[in-house]
C-alpha cells in the first residue's frame, strides 16, 4: 500500500511541509527508516537521530521549527500519528473463523457463545463457559468450570486452570499459566506438607497477560487482577495478590502472596515485592527495586527501596567515595597518621 505525503497529512490532520506528491510505502524508527518511509520525532533527546534519518518524511510537533532534509508533517501528537499510519500500512490482522477444529476436545457440558473459535488441539473441560467471539488458540487448555468472557483472545499454549474467572476483552499470551497452585507449604514432623490451594484467579475486563507469566490461584478466596491491568512477560503473581485497576507490571517482576497493589501503580522490570504488603495508588517503582515494607505512593528505587530523591542522593554519595578516600589519605599523611 502506498500513499502520497498529502494523503498522509490529510489522514492525520497534519500540516505538510514538503512535496505533496512524494510517495510513502513504509514506516520505521528514526534510525532504521530509509527513503520511501515515514518516521516520527517526539523527544528532544533524539534530535541527533532526526538529523541523520534517511526517511522521506517525519511527523513532528506543531511547534517544531528546525530544518530537516526529510519532509515534515506537523501534528499535535507525532507518536499517535505515526501509530495510525503504521496500522494503515500494516497487513490485515489474522482472523479466526468461528467453529471448533476437528482436533479440539470440547466437553459436551461446556457452553460456547456465538462466534467462538476453538483452534487445533485446544481442550475445553466440563462446565467451562466461553463468551461470544472469543478465540481459544491452538494447544490451549481451559479447565473445569472456568468462565471466559466475550471477545477474549487466548493465544496458543495457554493454560487456564479450573474455576478461573476471566472478564471481557482479555488478552493472554502464549505460555501463560493462570490458576496454578500457590506456593503454600508448612513444615510438619520434619518435612514440608502442602497447604491446599482451593481459591481461584479472577481477571477483570480489558486486562492483558504477557507470555510465560504465571498467576497463582488463591489459598482461599481469589487472586484478583482488576480491570485494565497490563502485565508483561515472565511475571510471577503469587496467591491472593490483588492488582488494582490500570496498574502496569513490567517483565521479571515477582509479587509475593497476599500483597495488595493499588490502582495505576507502575512497576518496572525485575521488581521484587515481599508478601502481605500494601502499595498505594499511583506508586511508581523503578527497575530492580526490592520492596520490603508498605509504600504510601510516590516514586521509589533501590533494594530495599527508598524514595527516589533519597536513592539518587545515596548513589551520588557512593560515586564520590573514591575521591573522599583519597582526600582522607592525603590529610592523614599531612598529619603524620
Question: Which DSSP string corresponds to 295-317?
Answer: B-SSEEEETTEEEHHHHHHHHHH
To the query of whether residue 173 is one of the catalytic residues in this protein, the response is: no
Task: Note the pLDDT tens digit of each residue in 133-146.
Answer: 999 999 999 999 99
| CA nearest neighbour of 225 among 181, 214, 157, 151 | 214
Give the DSSP per-residue string, 124-160. E-TT-EE-TT-EE-TT-EE-TT-EE-TT-EE-TT-EE
Is a pLDDT exceeding 90 seen at residue 1?
Answer: no
Domain range spanning residue 176? 99-308
Q: Which of 17, 121, 144, 239 is catalytic?
A: 239
Confidence of residue 333 (pLDDT cuts 50, 70, 90): confident
Burial class (CB in 10 A: 0-12, 13-18, 19+), 273: buried
> Angle CA(129)–CA(135)–CA(139) in degrees, nearest 5?
90
| CA nearest neighbour of 179 among 224, 139, 120, 230 | 224
Structural domain count, the chain: 2
CATH number of domain containing 169: 2.160.10.10
| Pair 286, 216 in one domain | yes
| Pair 193, 73 in one domain | no
Reduced to 3 states (helix: H, G, I; strand: E, B; else coil), residue 82 is helix
The proportion of the chain whose per-residue pLDDT surpasses 90, expressed as a percent, equals 92
The answer as to whether 333 is a domain residue is no
| CA nearest neighbour of 58 among 43, 73, 45 | 73
| Pair 61, 169 in one domain | no
| Pair 178, 71 in one domain | no
Alpha carbons within 13 angstroms on the beta-carbon side of residue 203 total 32
Task: Note the pLDDT tens digit of each residue in 191-241.
Answer: 999 999 999 999 999 999 999 999 999 999 999 999 999 999 999 999 999
The answer as to whether 331 is a domain residue is no
The answer as to whether 76 is a domain residue is yes
The answer as to whether 157 is a domain residue is yes
| Pair 41, 182 in one domain | no
The answer as to whether 337 is a domain residue is no
The answer as to whether 327 is a domain residue is no
Amino acid at each position: 500500500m502506498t500513499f502520497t505525503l498529502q494523503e498522509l497529512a490529510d489522514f492525520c490532520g497534519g500540516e505538510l511541509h514538503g512535496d505533496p506528491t512524494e510517495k510513502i510505502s513504509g514506516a520505521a524508527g528514526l534510525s532504521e527508516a530509509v527513503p520511501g518511509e515515514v518516521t516520527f520525532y517526539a523527544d528532544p533527546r533524539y534530535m541527533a537521530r532526526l538529523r541523520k534519518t534517511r526517511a522521506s518524511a517525519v511527523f513532528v510537533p506543531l511547534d517544531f521549527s528546525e530544518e530537516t532534509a526529510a519532509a515534515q508533517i506537523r501534528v499535535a501528537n507525532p507518536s499517535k500519528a505515526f501509530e495510525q499510519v503504521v496500522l494503515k500500512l500494516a497487513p490485515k490482522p489474522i482472523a479466526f473463523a468461528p467453529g471448533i477444529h476437528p482436533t479440539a476436545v470440547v466437553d459436551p457440558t461446556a457452553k460456547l457463545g456465538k462466534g467462538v473459535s476453538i483452534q487445533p488441539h485446544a481442550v475445553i473441560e466440563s462446565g467451562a463457559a466461553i463468551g461470544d467471539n472469543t478465540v481459544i488458540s491452538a494447544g490451549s487448555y481451559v479447565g473445569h468450570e472456568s468462565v471466559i468472557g466475550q471477545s477474549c483472545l487466548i493465544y496458543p499454549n495457554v493454560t487456564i486452570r479450573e474455576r478461573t474467572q476471566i472478564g471481557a476483552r482479555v488478552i493472554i499470551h502464549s505460555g501463560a499459566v493462570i490458576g496454578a497452585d500457590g506456593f503454600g507449604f508448612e513444615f510438619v514432623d520434619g518435612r514440608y506438607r502442602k497447604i491446599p490451594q482451593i481459591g481461584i484467579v479472577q481477571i477483570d475486563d480489558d486486562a492483558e497477560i504477557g507470555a510465560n507469566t504465571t498467576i497463582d490461584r488463591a489459598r482461599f478466596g481469589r487472586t484478583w487482577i482488576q480491570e485494565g491491568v497490563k502485565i508483561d512477560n515472565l511475571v510471577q503473581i503469587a496467591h491472593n495478590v490483588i492488582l488494582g485497576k490500570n496498574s502496569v507490571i513490567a517483565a521479571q517482576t515477582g509479587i509475593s502472596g497476599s500483597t495488595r497493589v493499588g490502582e495505576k501503580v507502575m512497576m518496572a522490570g525485575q521488581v521484587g515485592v515481599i508478601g502481605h504488603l500494601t502499595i498505594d495508588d499511583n506508586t511508581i517503582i523503578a527497575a530492580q527495586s526490592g520492596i520490603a515494607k508498605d509504600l504510601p505512593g510516590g516514586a521509589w528505587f533501590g533494594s530495599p527501596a527508598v524514595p527516589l530523591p533519597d536513592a539518587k542522593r545515596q548513589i551520588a554519595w557512593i560515586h564520590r567515595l573514591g575521591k573522599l578516600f583519597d582526600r582522607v589519605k592525603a590529610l592523614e599523611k599531612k598529619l603524620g597518621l
